[in-house]
């Protein structure tokens, strides 16, 4: 049967879809982790951006503080780039999952179509066999009736 020949391919397609789904989940987890780091860096940069109130800072400490803020801002920009990269990777994996899902659905529809066709052919074969059997029984009954005078057949006299 043609539908049975598709079963191994369907199994492979389901495995491919499952793998793609796991990759999407992994990429989403990595993206969420990187976004959390970015948000933490941004919060820290905001906290560090406002100087302490009513305190005087020595010029050397102010220079150090400004240099640290620049490095912190550079880290925020770098982390934002990492988040964007992870988002792109996540989008690629999502597209792979969508493609694998579509391919699997197409193959499932094809297998279902083959199975429905095979069922129709089998039903037609059974119906033909029943019709043939019924026809043979009718012919046999007619032949029996033709030779039996009690059942309305011709007499031999």
Taking the C-alpha atoms of 14, 16, 18 and 21 in order, what is their torsion angle to the nearest 10 degrees? Answer: -140
Read off the pTM: 0.67
Nearest Cα residue to 88 out of 27, 26, 18, 29: 27
Range of the domain at 94: 2-120
Burial class (CB in 10 A: 0-12, 13-18, 19+), 104: buried
CATH number of the domain at 45, please: 1.10.287.1700
Per-residue tokens: 69: 């803020």
Q: Is 130 part of a structural domain of the chain?
A: no
- pLDDT at residue 150 in the model: 62
Q: Is 97 part of a structural domain of the chain?
A: yes
Q: Is 6 part of a structural domain of the chain?
A: yes
Q: Is 156 part of a structural domain of the chain?
A: no
Q: Is 150 part of a structural domain of the chain?
A: no
- The Cα 66–Cα 51 span in angstroms is 10
Q: Is 17 part of a structural domain of the chain?
A: yes
pLDDT of 132 strictly over 80 = yes
Q: Is 39 part of a structural domain of the chain?
A: yes
Per the structure, the count of domains in the chain is 1
Q: Is 72 part of a structural domain of the chain?
A: yes
Main-chain dihedrals φ then ψ at residue 153, nearest 5 degrees: -85, 175
pLDDT tens digits along 87-131: 999 999 999 999 999 999 999 999 999 999 999 999 999 999 999
Treating both helix axes as pointing N-terminal to C-terminal, what angle do 59-147 and 2-49 enclose, rounded to 10 degrees?
160
């Amino acid at each position: 049967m043609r539908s049975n020949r598709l079963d191994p391919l369907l199994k492979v397609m389901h495995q491919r879809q499952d793998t793609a789904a796991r990759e999407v989940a992994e990429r989403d987890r990595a993206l969420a982790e990187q976004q959390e780091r970015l948000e933490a860096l941004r919060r820290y940069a905001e906290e560090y951006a406002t100087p302490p109130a009513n305190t005087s800072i020595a010029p050397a400490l102010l220079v150090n503080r400004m240099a640290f803020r620049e490095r912190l801002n550079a880290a925020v920009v770098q982390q934002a780039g990492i988040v964007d990269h992870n988002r792109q990777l996540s989008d690629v994996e999502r597209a792979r999952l969508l493609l694998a899902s579509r391919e699997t659905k197409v193959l499932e529809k094809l297998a279902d179509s083959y199975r429905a066709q095979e069922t129709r052919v089998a039903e037609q074969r059974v119906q033909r066999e029943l019709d043939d059997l019924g026809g043979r029984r009718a012919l046999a009954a007619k032949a029996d009736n033709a030779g039996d005078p009690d059942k309305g057949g011709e007499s031999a006299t």
